Amino acid sequence: MISTAADFLEQFKRYALSRIESEDSDIKHTVAIGDNFEGLTAELLNKAIFEDLNLKMVERSFVYNDSGVMSAEFDCLLVVGDGQKMSFAGRYKYHIKDVIAVFQVKKNLYANDLDDAHQNLRSIIEVSEPRDPDSYVGRLFSNAYKILTSKESPTTERRTRFTDRENMIYHYLMMEAFHPLRIVIGYYGYTTEHGLREGFVKKLEQLIKSGPVRGYSPSSFPSLIICGNSTIIKNNGMPMGIPLSENDDFYFHVLVSSSGKPMYHLLELIWTRLSYKFSLGSAMFGDDFDSEATHPFISCKKKRMSATNWGWEFFYHDLTKQQLSLPLVSQPWRPTEIDPDKFSILHMLLKVGTIDIQTDREFLEFINDCKLDADKIVKELIDARLVYVDEGKMGLLVDELVTLITPDGKIYAGENRSGEMANYFNKQIGANPTNK
pLDDT, one tens digit per residue, over 176-204 is: 999 999 999 999 999 999 999 999 999 99
Q: Over the chain, what is the mean pLDDT?
A: 89
pLDDT band at 433 (very low <50, low <70, confident <90, very high): low
pLDDT at 51 over 80: no
Q: What is the pLDDT of residue 5?
A: 75
* pTM for this model (two decimals): 0.90
pLDDT band at 141 (very low <50, low <70, confident <90, very high): very high
Q: What is the pLDDT of residue 239?
A: 92
Which CATH number does 336-435 carry? 1.10.10
Tell me the domain boundaries of the chain: 2-325, 336-435
| CA–CA separation, 53 and 418 (whole Å) | 22
Q: In what order do the strands lie in the sheet with 354-356?
A: 354-356, 393-396, 387-390
pLDDT at 287 over 80: no
Q: What is the pLDDT of residue 29?
A: 55
DSSP characters over 164-221: HHHHHHHHHHHHHHHSPEEEEEEEEE--SHHHHHHHHHHHHHHHHTTS--TT-SGGGS
Q: What is the pLDDT of residue 12?
A: 65
